[in-house]
Structure 1
Amino acid sequence: GIGAAIVLALTPLAATPVLAQDSISTGAPSGHFSAEEVARFSKQIETNLAARGARVAIVFRAGRAREKLPKGIAYTHGAFWVYRDIQTDSGQTEPGYAVYNLYAGDGKALPSTASRLVQDFPYDFTSGSSVDDVAVIVPSPEVQRRLLAVIDSPIYAALHNPAYSLIANPLSPKYQNCNGFMLDVLAAAVWDITDRDQIRANLKANFKPTTVEAGPVTRLLAPLVTAGLKTDDHSGRLRTATYESLADFMRANGMLQAAYSVSFQR
Structure 2
Amino acid sequence: MKLLVAVLAAALMTGAAPPAAAQDSSARAIVPHFTPQQAASFSKQMERDLAGRGARVAIVFRAGRMRDQLPEGIAYTHGAFWVYRDIQTADGQSLKGYAVYNLYAGDGKAWPKGESRLVQDFPLDFTRGSTVNDMAVIVPSPEMQRRILAVIDSPTYEKVHNPQYSLVANPWARKYQNCNNFMLNVIGSGIWETDNPAQITANLKAHYKPTVVKANGLVRFFGPLADQRLRTDDQDATIRTATYESMAVFMREHKLLQDAYIFNYEPRAASPPS
TM-score, normalization by structure 1: 0.91
In the aligned structure 2, how far is the partner of 1:214 from the partner of 1:64? 20
In the aligned structure 2, how far is the partner of 1:197 from the partner of 1:91? 40
What are the within-5 Å matches in structure 2 for residues 7-46 of structure 1?
Answer: 7-8=12-13, 11=16, 14-15=18-19, 18-25=20-27, 27=28, 30-46=31-47
In the aligned structure 1, how far is the partner of 2:34 from the partner of 2:15? 30
In the aligned structure 2, how far is the partner of 1:10 from the partner of 1:227? 21
Give the drift of 1:91. Answer: 1.4
SS of the residue aligned with 1:225? coil
SS of the residue aligned with 1:113? coil
Say whether the 8 Å CA contact 2:157–2:186 is kept in structure 1. Answer: yes
Give the drift of 1:30. Answer: 4.0
- Name 1:127's counterpart in structure 2: 128
SS of the residue aligned with 1:262? strand
What are the within-5 Å matches in structure 2 for residues 103-252 of structure 1?
Answer: 103-214=104-215, 224-252=225-253
In the aligned structure 1, how far is the partner of 2:61 from the partner of 2:132? 11
Say whether the 8 Å CA contact 2:29–2:65 is kept in structure 1. Answer: no
Give the drift of 1:85. Answer: 0.5
Give the drift of 1:193. Answer: 1.1
In the aligned structure 2, how far is the partner of 1:218 from the partner of 1:104? 21
Identity %, equivalent residues: 60
In the aligned structure 2, how far is the partner of 1:172 from the partner of 1:42? 34
Alpha carbons of structure 1 residues 51 and 194: separation in structure 2 relative to 1, 3 Å: same
Amino acid at match of 2:143: E
In the aligned structure 2, how far is the partner of 1:9 from the partner of 1:98? 46
Alpha carbons of structure 1 residues 92 and 212: separation in structure 2 relative to 1, 3 Å: same
In the aligned structure 1, how far is the partner of 2:135 from the partner of 2:113? 25
Alpha carbons of structure 1 residues 224 and 29: separation in structure 2 relative to 1, 3 Å: closer
Structure 2: which 5+ residue stretches go unaligned? Answer: 1-8, 268-274
SS of the residue aligned with 2:131? coil
In the aligned structure 2, how far is the partner of 1:223 from the partner of 1:212? 17
SS of the residue aligned with 1:118? strand
Give the drift of 1:158. Answer: 0.8
Alpha carbons of structure 1 residues 5 and 135: separation in structure 2 relative to 1, 3 Å: closer
CA deviation string 1:122-157 (max 9, x = no partner): 000000000000000000000000000000000001
In the aligned structure 1, how far is the partner of 2:255 from the partner of 2:11? 47
Say whether the 8 Å CA contact 1:250–1:256 is kept in structure 2. Answer: yes
Say whether the 8 Å CA contact 1:10–1:218 is kept in structure 2. Answer: no
Say whether the 8 Å CA contact 2:26–2:64 is kept in structure 1. Answer: no
In the aligned structure 1, how far is the partner of 2:45 from the partner of 2:15? 39
SS of the residue aligned with 2:258? strand
In the aligned structure 2, how far is the partner of 1:65 from the partner of 1:51? 30
- Name 1:263's counterpart in structure 2: 264
Amino acid at match of 1:130: T
In the aligned structure 1, how far is the partner of 2:197 from the partner of 2:188? 10
CA deviation string 1:217-243 (max 9, x = no partner): 969x97842110111100111110000
Give the drift of 1:29. Answer: 7.4
Pairwise CA RMSD of aligned residues?
2.2
Give the drift of 1:22. Answer: 2.2
Say whether the 8 Å CA contact 1:214–1:238 is kept in structure 2. Answer: no
In the aligned structure 2, how far is the partner of 1:11 from the partner of 1:105? 26
Amino acid at match of 1:35: P
SS of the residue aligned with 1:119? strand
Number of residue pairs matched by the alignment:
258
Say whether the 8 Å CA contact 1:29–1:127 is kept in structure 2. Answer: no
More displaced 10-residue stretch of structure 1: 66-75 or 29-38: 29-38
- Answering whether residue 92 of structure 2 is matched by residue 91 of structure 1, we say yes
In the aligned structure 2, how far is the partner of 1:9 from the partner of 1:247? 37
More displaced 10-residue stretch of structure 1: 97-106 or 197-206: 197-206
TM-score, normalization by structure 2: 0.89
Runs (4+) of structure 1 exceeding 2 A deviation are: 4-12, 27-30, 221-225
